[in-house]
Structure 1
Amino acid sequence: MNLVCSAPVTWRVGYPFHVRFSTPIFIPSYTSSLLHDPERPKGSMASPELIAVSVLASASGVVAHLAVFRKGEWDVASPSIFVFYVVSFALLFLPAHFHLGFPIYSAFSAAGYHVAGLFTSMLVYRAWFHKLSQFPGPFLARLTTFYITARSMKKLHLYEEVQKLHAEHGDFVRLAPRELSIAALEAVKAIYGTQSPTSKGPWYTLLEPRTPLFMARDKQEHARRRKVWDQGFSTKALQDYNPRITKAIDQLLGVMERHQRAGQSMDVTKFFAFFVFDIMEDLAFNKSSNMLADEKEAYIFETIRADMFNIALFTHLPWLLPFLKRTPILNHNYLKFWNWIQAQIDERSRNEPKSRDIFSYILEAYNKGPKTKRDKWNLHGDAQLIVIAGSDSVAAVLTHVFFHLALDPTLADTLRAEFDALPDLSHDNLVTVPLLDAVINETMRLHPPVASGTQRVTPPEGLWIGDTHIPGDVIVQVPSYTVFRDPRAFERPDDFIPERWTTRPELVRDRSVFIPFNIGPYACVGKRLALLEIRRVVGEVLAKYYISFAKSETKDVFLEEKEDTFTTVSGALPLTFTPRGKTPVGSVEA
């Protein structure tokens, strides 16, 4: 027979509010007798009672894992789960303590046993019974995502850590309990191709509740919103953006001239980032922070740079970020950033530019819609996407292009001669120079803008990669850095040889794996704008200057300082720019 108690409890949320309710507590009859045993000292529990509570609590943890948490995604719900447990603890044990004498320490002990049961079941399942158990990888990676996070955070060189794991374990490596990294060449088409049945993974919830186009996981929603974005990157639209790009290039050349006249080297990593950010901010909000002109970081730029570290940290821990977003004080910068975005949107909405920008198309579609809270959040996300996604990757590619041009002056001279033969340096003429695109391609092959690849989830029925079947509901991704340097796809994979894309095609064994802008329905919408900016900067700078490394700079230091924060963040790269007609200065240290 069981004892049922209805214990009234009053919760004071803060004067003058209070809530009063009754909750039924079900207590097994033998436990009830132990609670009221006259021989038991007050505030203590008999040994059989402790055993019963520990067994029941542990078993409930195992059941919670097997019946609930083993299936589905719980990352975004992590704060709600925490609150649920706290409230459940209060409802179950506090009435029992105040009305039945149930000891507080025993209540905490029961909670501890539940958590222990939950995590023990989780670890045992992940280690030996998970559907990915047959795939190789470090044992600790089977148990927790903290393993690959720890390896990533050592130097923020996740791309190198993953490459090492593939060299040790083969094409299929279990990086985390539910995650596979796949370096098999046929995986590129199977996971990212137009006909791929995969969907975007939980990483794409990092900005929740906001969902920019890039992070839309629903394929139909993504397709609908992509149509709007495509308008902003049409041929006509790109022509309209040319004056803004030209203005930024003139400012960049002005910075180079000032540094050259002062006899100073110039950190192109910083100034290329300023250059692209100024352009994208102009195309998003019809204004610029003028970082190039002022040679100074703006608030938003500093904030985004700081956030890139968080993105690297939470790449494999998406369940942790919702806590920081919702915790007062800790979320101060997060709230400040989105308030800034809202302020820019408000100002931009009041001042439509004479010449349409990217945001014109997005804002027009938003104003035609119902304007729900979700729509407003997505507008926030799209505004952020224009600025961040459009700047980080382009800046990284530009920096690495100039790194290789400084490393190989003969290549720079060859390109320069090609540019001199053109009627002018308009983009229409620059696209006729095959070597320029070959240099850009080879740069992105060795230094991909998204070095660790993008995350997908297999469909319920699973996915075949060659002769290997990947179970359903598994996170998969192809590591770009590893595959782009795979000797099965490229001869002499670690050498910078632009001619492999022009006069030496035999050096490319499988071109289909080279997808720096991704492929399929999620291919980068801004690819054409990115290439336009890169071509024009390379053309204009080489036409005016010789390029060389600053004496204090070495090849290895630059490569060592780069960071993998989803997009590649380049290390400092001081270069010297010498006007044509003068002897180039500077050298590369061994």
Structure 2
Amino acid sequence: MTGFQNQVLSAATAGFLAHWCYFVHGEHDLQAAHIAQTHIVLCILVAGAKGYVEGLTFSNACRETMTLAAIYVGIMMTSIAVYRLFFSPLRRFPGSFSWKLSKLSHVWSMTKPDNFKVLERERQKYGDIVRTGPNEITLFTVEAFHQVYNSQSNCTKSPYYDLLQPMESLDTTRDPAMHTRRRKIWDQFFSVRCKPTPALSLEKQEGLVYSYGDKLVAAIEKRVNEPLDVSDWFEYYTFDLMGQFGMGFDFGLLEGQPNDIHHLYHIAHRNLGPIGAAPWMKHLMMSIPYIERLRSYRLFLQWTTNLLQNKIESKSEIKDVLGYVVEDARRNGGFQAEWRFMMGDLALLIAAGSDPMRLALTNIFYYLVVYPEHLRQVRNELAQIDWRDYKALARLDHLSAVIYETLRLNPPVPAAGLRITPPEGLTLSTAHIPGGTTVLVPQYSLFRGKYALAPPNRLSASLFQPPNLCTASLNEELTRLSVSDPRNFAQPNDFLPERFTTRPELILDEDAYMPWSAGKGQCIGKKLSLLEIRVAVAAVVTRFDVGFAPGEDGTRMFAETVDYFTSTPGPLRLVFKEREAKREAM
């Protein structure tokens, strides 16, 4: 056997051992850049040794080194593929062949960013327990949801939550003790009465929300009788409010002021979203200077750094969430030690402080146009109270039911929350999931029935337009997709707010409804989000009549919904008109 043949054998052996001695054990996402750099250095050293020891020319040394590298990688990848298909503890679970081999297949499917629909299609093919990755199982039952996410669960957060490293936030920290500590910081602002500083409680912030509701109405007044993409304008409302509540910063979007960070956030969100299925890709790309895909993310980080630095230097009175975060860092460890947590919490404010309410409001107005009887009921309730009294507003049953039903049909976090099962695994009534497995339970699929991938069947006429908005082909598709599997909710794909008021029998399993998640990970901003949504709905529907713009039927809003952890709706063009000053009949 020649020397080069021995080298080939050594490369093949090294590839096999690299898999079985290293890659098959533990997590390696955060080390992706280091792993790549180590292999590049080894290739350079091998090429140098070939030139120096064997006397090869530069081109021959490089050619032989590349051959050995290809053999090393080929054997390693073959070993990984064989293991995942035939030896993995998950080998008996059904799922797509390509997804069993690599999460890159999931990344590819996310080129059209509708992850909740992608997972629902997998459910339709394979059932309630689906292998959606080499070491990932997606579950579609209420039992699984509560076992994975409730307060007693021993499941822990997956490497997905390292996506924004080195930033680490209340939501992304994988350390339970750190999560508890940081939640106490946020609780100071999000508690209803905020005992340590009652002037900063949500109860005292209602006036600010109402003032932004007035700004939203003023913006619409300037555009009455014109097609208006409410998906954008509801985002301006929620983004401006997030700026004030979260960091004491007025973005001015409702006043029509362009804002670079708003635009930059969307680009960064869109570029990072697809690679969330394989977090190692982000960590690898961040190690490559000037990579264009992450340029917007780097600029976003620079903006947040500058804002945080200004917040620290201002030493102003605490009036927002970021103020609590900065003050905690000042008292515990100092700014340098706490910098990654401050940056992470600031990024969390921007990501989670606007998108969920934007989605809810856009969908609510879609349903109020499609189902005008519910709009009439909401208006009749509002006519009985002073809607600027939030305590009275929060007690309106039908308004709350409309909100809850909208969140059921369109959950703000439809397919996120990856967890890792404890060493003993997770035992369900129908299966046992091995320990160390990444698991997910998508809310979208729990709240709906099977085949719920399109708008409701009822696409009624706009208040201002004739009813023939839906094409024949779309009607056929809606009919085909109307088959449902009502295990948790009767008529699961229909908009029926009465299930939360007068027809509770439409809820077949009360444990199935948890739009704010459950357990320790339950959304801390629930009360604030409901405050923002109720005020915006009340402010707009008491002032304007609303209907679809010419040619609009809501199809794009559903079809172009983007799902990257939180989801954002597609465009919805509505027309607002001055409302007649009279109370509508029942």
TM (norm. structure 2) is: 0.88
> Equivalent residue of 2:380, what SS?
helix
Looking at structure 2, the residues matched to 566 and 520 of structure 1 have their Cα atoms a distance apart, in angstroms, of 18
Equivalent position of 1:144 in the other structure? 102
Selected match of 1:315 from 255, 270, 276: 276
Q: Superposition pairs for residues 235-314 of structure 1, below 5 Å?
A: 235-236=192-193, 237-260=201-224, 263-294=225-256, 296-314=257-275
Give the residue type in structure 1 aligned to 2:442: P
Whole-angstrom CA distance in 2 between matches of 1:334 and 1:556: 31
Tell me, yes or no, if the aligned pair for 1:462 and 1:472 is still in contact at 8 Å.
yes
- Contact in 2 for aligned 1:210/1:374 (Cα 8 Å): no
CA distance in 2, matches of 1:354, 1:375: 20
CA deviation string 1:470-499 (max 9, x = no partner): 001111000111111131100000000000
Deviation at 1:332, TM superposition (A): 3.5
Letter in 1 for 2:447: F
Contact kept in structure 2, 1:199 and 1:217, CA below 8 Å: yes
| Aligned partner of residue 542 in structure 2, secondary structure | helix
Tell me, in whole angstroms, the C-alpha distance in 1 between the residues paired with 2:566 and 2:106. Answer: 18
Pairing 1:92-103 to 2, within 5 Å after superposition: 92-101=46-55, 103=60
Aligned counterparts of 2:560 and 2:213: Cα–Cα separation in 1:
26
Partner Cα separation in structure 2 for residue 306 and residue 477 of structure 1: 26
How many positions carry a matched residue from both structures?
534
1:543 and 2:542 matched: yes
Larger displacement relative to structure 2 (272-281 or 349-358): 349-358
- Give how far 1:566 is off: 1.8
- CA distance in 2 between partners of 1:353 and 1:373 (Å): 19
Give the Å deviation of 1:545.
Answer: 1.4
**CA deviation profile, 1:326-354 (whole Å, cap 9, x unmatched):** 22212543332112112212222344555
Q: Could you tell me how far 1:99 is from its partner in structure 2?
A: 2.7
Q: Distance in 1 between matches of 2:135 and 2:253?
A: 42
Q: Which one has a larger percent strand, Structure 1 or Structure 2?
A: 1
Q: Could you tell me whether the CA contact under 8 Å between 2:415 and 2:444 is conserved in 1?
A: yes
> Is contact 1:240–1:356 with CA below 8 Å preserved after alignment?
no
Please say if 1:344 is aligned against 2:343. Answer: no
Match of 1:3 in 2: none
State the alpha-carbon separation in 1 of the partners of residues 316 and 534 from structure 2: 26
Q: Is the 8 A contact 2:401 2:500 kept in 1?
A: yes
Counterpart residue number, 1:579: 578
In structure 2, the partner of 1:223 is 180
Task: Work out the CA distance in 1 between the residues paired with 2:45 and 2:430.
Answer: 53
Quote the offset at 1:507 in angstroms.
0.6
Q: Whole-Å Cα distance in 2 between the matches of residues 271 and 58 of structure 1?
A: 58
Q: Are the counterparts in 2 of residues 240 and 355 from structure 1 also a CA contact under 8 Å?
A: no
Shift of the alpha carbon at 1:324? 2.5
The aligned residue for residue 449 of structure 1 is 412
- List per-residue Cα deviations over 1:52-82 (Å, max 9, x = no partner): 2222211110111001010111111100001
Matches within 5 A, 1:363-378: 363-371=326-334, 373-378=336-341
Asked if 2 retains the 8 angstrom alpha-carbon contact of 1:157 and 1:563, the reply is: yes
Name the residue aligned to 1:89.
Answer: 43
Shift of 1:427: 1.5
Distance apart, 1:243 and its partner CA: 3.1
Give matches, 1:164-175, under 5 Å.
164-175=121-132
Q: Report the identity percentage.
A: 31
Q: Which runs of 5+ in 1 are unaligned?
A: 1-46, 584-590
CA contact (8 A) 2:329 2:335 kept: no
The answer (yes or no) to whether the contact 1:409–1:547 under 8 Å persists in 2 is no
Which residue of 182, 192, 196 maps to 2:153?
196
**Matches of 2:297 and 2:363 in 1, distance apart?**
31
Match of 2:474 in 1: none
- Matches of 1:297 and 1:472 in 2, distance apart? 49
Kindly state the Cα deviation for residue 160 of structure 1 after the two structures are TM-superposed: 1.4
Residue 171 of structure 2 corresponds to residue 214 of structure 1: yes
Counterpart residue identity of residue 9, structure 2: V
* Cα distance in structure 2, aligned partners of 1:247 and 1:424: 13
Unaligned 5+ segments in structure 2 are 194-200, 450-485
1:416 equivalenced with 2:367 (yes/no)? no
Does 1:362 pair with 2:362? no
Within 2, Cα distance between the matches of 1:127 and 1:374? 44
- The CA deviation string for residues 534-555 of structure 1, in whole angstroms up to 9 with x for no partner, is 0111111111112211122113
Name the CA distance, whole Å, in 2 between partners of 1:273 and 1:375. Answer: 31
One-letter amino acid of the counterpart of residue 248, structure 1: Y
Q: Distance in 1 between matches of 2:166 and 2:337?
A: 8
Contact 2:248 2:319 in 1 (8 A): no
| Preserved CA contact (<8 Å) 2:238 2:357 | yes
Pairwise CA distance, 1:413: 0.8
How far apart are residue 360 of structure 1 and its match?
A: 2.1
Cross-structure match for 2:78: 120
AA aligned to 1:497 is L
Alignment-derived partner of residue 552 in structure 1: 551
Q: Which has the higher contact order (CA 8 A, sep 6+)?
A: 2
Letter of the aligned partner of 1:68 in structure 2? Y
Query: Residue 143 of structure 2 corresponds to which residue in structure 1?
Result: 186
Deviation of 1:240 after TM superposition, in Å, equals: 3.1
Shift in Å at residue 227 of structure 1? 0.8
Q: Does 1:386 align with 2:340?
A: no
Q: Residue by residue, what CA displacement relative to the aligned partner does 1:8-38 show, whole Å, maximum 9, x if unpaired?
A: xxxxxxxxxxxxxxxxxxxxxxxxxxxxxxx
Report the counterpart of residue 29 of structure 1 in structure 2. none
Note the C-alpha offset of 1:314: 1.1
CA shift digits 1:110-160 (9 cap, x unpaired) = 12111111111111101111111010001111101121222222x322211
Q: Which residue of 2 aligns with 1:6?
A: none
Mapped to 2, the partners of 1:531 and 1:582 lie a distance apart of: 27
Task: Give distance in 1, aligned partners of 2:262 and 2:538.
Answer: 26
Match of 2:133 in 1: 176
Higher mean C-alpha displacement, 209-218 vs 280-289: 280-289
The CA deviation at 1:582 is 7.6
User: Which deviations, in whole Å up to 9, do the C-alpha atoms of 1:285-323 show, x marking residues without a partner?
Assistant: 3121201112x4411111111122223211211011013
User: C-alpha distance in 1, partners of 2:88/2:209?
Assistant: 52
| Equivalent position amino acid for 1:112 in 2 | A
Paired residue for 1:41? none
- With 196-205 and 100-109 compared, the bigger mean Cα shift is at 100-109
Deviations 1:536-581 (A, max 9, x none): 1111111111221112211323211212122111111111112221
What residue identity is the alignment partner of 1:156? P
Q: Quick check: 1:426–1:536 contact (8 Å CA) kept in 2?
A: no
Q: Higher Cα Rg: structure 1 or 2?
A: 1
- CA RMSD, 1 decimal: 1.8
- Amino acid paired to 1:69: F
- What corresponds to 2:396 in structure 1? 433
1:134 aligned to 92, 109, 116, which one? 92
Instruction: Give the CA deviation at 1:365.
Output: 0.6
Give SS of 2:333's match. coil
